[in-house]
Amino acid sequence: MTLGVIRCLYCTAETRLSNSNRVNNTPGGLAAIWADQNTRDALFDSMQRKEVYATSGTRIRLKFSVNFESQQETHPMGSTVKADMDNRPEFSIVAQKDPLEGPLHKVQLIKGWTSNGIALERVLDIYCSQSCSDEVFKVDLKTCEIDQQQGEDEIKVSWTDETYKPEQNAFYYVRVLQVPTCRWSTYDSIALGIQPPDDIPATVTEMAWSSPIWIDSANE
């Protein structure tokens, strides 16, 4: 039997900032489940369907689904769908910000597929607020106040894969990124009245990412 230890559960700001592992340490993430009911059975059914997503710690709401023009059914994240020979897949993404956190910046779609036995992957910015670059968003490192005029509270976007090949196996998932906000070490520094450490990032980009949707080759 191995006993786990929770380090720094009651640590002070001074202790956290003096920790040699502070470069890599960030607060724990969250797992989210889309379920019809808040019951044990419904939650486990959703997990088995993989209708789940994760965040880096913020409470972003995220929905991700696909449908083909010739099909009436919409398939949520976690689904495995047979490729359609005549129609391209159309993906729908709906994301809402955490009410207590920064606005949303952009939506990225990640596509993976195989070609001649080689695994390939592509990251696409399919929606950006103001600019796809983080540099347009300014963070006040003296107060860490979040400018709610930056970014967006909600993003709804549809995307069709114009490079779709029905004979290929492929997967798709999305990432939703917030505008940059202060890292925990910067908040601690402000509380102590000192300058943030200059050897670690002062800001962080929180995000949510969906379960994949798999599209099986029409030839299989």
DSSP 144: -
In percent, how much of the chain has pLDDT > 90? Answer: 61
pTM over 0.75: yes
Quickly tell me which residue has 């929606």 as its tokens: 127
Q: What is the pLDDT of residues 112-152, one digit of tens each?
A: 998 888 999 999 999 999 889 878 888 899 999 888 888 99
Question: In the predicted model, is pLDDT for residue 21 greater than 90?
Answer: no
Q: What is the mean pLDDT of the chain?
A: 88
Structure tokens that stand for 47 in this block: 């997990």
- Mean pLDDT throughout 9-36? 75
Least confident of 2-6, 13-17, 76-80, 170-174: 2-6
How many CA atoms within 13 Å lie on the side-chain side of 160? 5
Show the beta-strand stretches assigned E in 129-201. Answer: 154-160, 170-178, 181-182
Confidence (pLDDT) at 138: 86
Confidence (pLDDT) at 115: 84
- The CA-based angle 18-21-23, given to 5 degrees, is 95
Q: What is the pLDDT of residues 142-180, one digit of tens each?
A: 999 888 888 999 999 999 999 999 999 999 999 999 999
Question: Among residues 69, 65, 61, 68, which one has the least CA distance to residue 50?
Answer: 65
Helix, strand or coil, per DSSP, at residue 21: coil
Show the beta-strand stretches assigned E in 21-178. Answer: 30-33, 52-55, 61-68, 75-76, 80-82, 89-96, 104-115, 118-128, 154-160, 170-178
Question: Among residues 214, 210, 140, which one has the least CA distance to residue 179?
Answer: 140
- Residue 70 contacts residue 204 (beta carbons within 8 Å): no
Structure tokens that stand for 157 in this block: 């976007």
pLDDT class for 49, splitting at 50, 70, 90? very high
- Mean pLDDT throughout 71-87? 90
Quickly tell me which residue has 């009651």 as its tokens: 10
- Residue 9 contacts residue 27 (beta carbons within 8 Å): no
Q: Give, for 215, the enclosing helix (H) or strand (E).
A: strand 213-216
